[in-house]
A and B are shown apart, each in its own frame.
Chain A
Amino acid sequence: MSTLLIHQLYAAFAPWLILSFLLLGRNPHLSQTRIIVSPLLALGLLLIPIAGWNGFAWSRDIEMNPSFTLTALLSIGLCKRIGGLSLLRSCDWKTACTFGSIAAIVLYPLGLGLTPFDSYPWGWEPLLPVITALIASALLLQGNRFGIILLLPLGGFFLHLQESHNFWDALVDPIYTGFALIAMIFMTTRAGIARFTSRQTPQSALPQS
C-alpha cells in the first residue's frame, strides 16, 4: 500500500465521523434504522463527486492531518451516541477540553507569528513526544482515561499514518482545539454563573424581619 493511500485512508476517517454525527441529529432516542443508515449515508455523501472530486478529497484540501486525538474523541463520542457506551467519563472529557485549550493557546498564537518565538518547530524535536508521554503518565496515574487517548498520537506518529512529520499535528488540530476552546469557555461561563447565583441565593433566602 502506498504512503499516499495510507495518509488518505487515515485522513478520511475524521470527516466521515463528523458527518455521521451530524446526520444522527440531536434526538436522544435513536431508532435502529437511523443508527445504521446515518454512517452509511455519511459515507455515500462523502463519495459524491463535486467538481470532479469527492467529499473526502475536498476535506483533505482543508485538513489533511486530523489529529489522532480528534479521531479518537470522535470515535468515542459516536460510540456513546449510537450504543450508549461511555468510554470516557465527564472528568475525562473535561481533561480533553483543558488539554486542547492549553495546546491551542501554546501553539496557534505563536505559530501564526504573534511573537519572534515559534512553538510549531517543537513538533520536529524530541521534546513534544516526551512531554506527551509525561502528561499521559500523570493522567494514567490519576486514573484519568484521557491518558489512554494520548497514547494514540504517539502510536500513530510512529506508524507514519499522517502526511505531516510534525508531532503537533499528531496531537492536536484546529478542529479539536477549536471545539475544546468553545467547550472550555462554555464550561467556565456556566461555572461562573452557578457561583454567582449560589452567592445570590442565600441572601435572598434570608428571613425578613
Chain B
Amino acid sequence: MEAAPVPGGGRAVLERSPLARLPDRALRYALTALAAAFLALIAYFFVRLVGEASPAFEKFGIFGFTFGRNWNVSAEHFGALPLLVGTLITSALALLIGVPVAVATAIYATELCPQRLRSPLTVLVELLAAVPSVVYGLWGIFFLAPKLQPAEQWLADRVSFIPFIGGGLVTIPNYFVTGLVLAIMILPIVSAISREVMATVPSDQKEAALGLGATRWEMIRTAVLPFSRAGIVGGAMLGLGRAIGETIAVTILIGDAPKLSGHLFEQGYSLAAVIANEFGEAQGLHRSALFAAGLVLFVLTLLVNAVARGFVLRAARPTRRQDAATDEAARHPETAGP
C-alpha cells in the first residue's frame, strides 16, 4: 500500500503512511482490551460469587444468614454471627495490641533513634512482614499458645469477676492468642505507614516546638502526633483490613469452634477460618453457606479498606510533599517502607 498524496502542503511530508501507523493502533487497542478484560474478570468473579452464595441467602435471608446465631453443619443450619463475632474480636484485639506498639516503633525510628540505628530497626520491623501466615500459625500453636496458657489461666482466675475475661477454663487455642499473633502480623504495615506520615511532619513545626522550650516528648505530643493522626488512623484501618482477611494463622490458632462463647480465652471461629477449614468437605447448602461467608468477608474488608483509604488520603491534604508519600503508602502497602 502506498501513501496517497495528501492535499494540504508541507504537513503531508511528515505524516506517516497508514501502514506505519498500524502498530501504534494495535498496541493501543491491545492494551485497552487487556484493561477492559481485567475489569470484566473482576465483575465476573463477583457475580459468580454472589450466584454461588445465593442458595444460602435465599434459605436463611441475607440478614438471617449474616446475624444468625447458629452455625451447625450436621443440622444444615447456617448463621454467620459466631464467625463474624470471632473475626471482629480477634481483629479488634490485634488493633488494641498492635497499633500502640507499631506507633511507638514509628516514633522511635523517626524521632528518638540514633541515626545509625534507624535503617537496621526499619529493616527488622519489615522482616516481620516477610514471615508467611502459615509460619505464624506454626509458631503460635506449637510455641506461643502452650507457653501463654498458664499465664492466661492465672489471669482468668484472678479476675473472675470481670465478664468476658475472668473465670472459665482457658483452652490452648483461643481468641486472645489469635489476636496477639494478628497484632504481630499487622505491626509492620501499621508501623511503615505511621513512619512515612511522621517523616512528612514539617521540621519547622518540630523546631518551633523545641524552640519554645518543649521537651522531646512534648514536641512529639504537640507537633508530630496531631499532624500525623489521620495517617496513623488510616494505617491502623489498613491493618484492620489485613487482620479481618487473615486466614491460615487464624484457622490454626482460633480452635475452629462455631459458638458464641463470650469468653476471651475460649475457642472460636472466624469468617476466613471457616472457609479454609470446612470448604474441602462441603457439599450443597453447606458449600453455598461458605461462599456466603466469603461474600460477607469480602464486603467487610471492602468497607474497612475504603474507610482506611479515606483517612490516609485526608492525612495527605495539608502539603504537596506529604500527599505523594501518604498516597503512595495507601496505594501500595506491600512495598511501603524505606
Task: Determine if chain A interacts with chain B.
Answer: no
Task: Please give the residue numbers on chain A whose beta carbons come within 8 Å of chain B beta carbons, in ascending order.
Answer: none
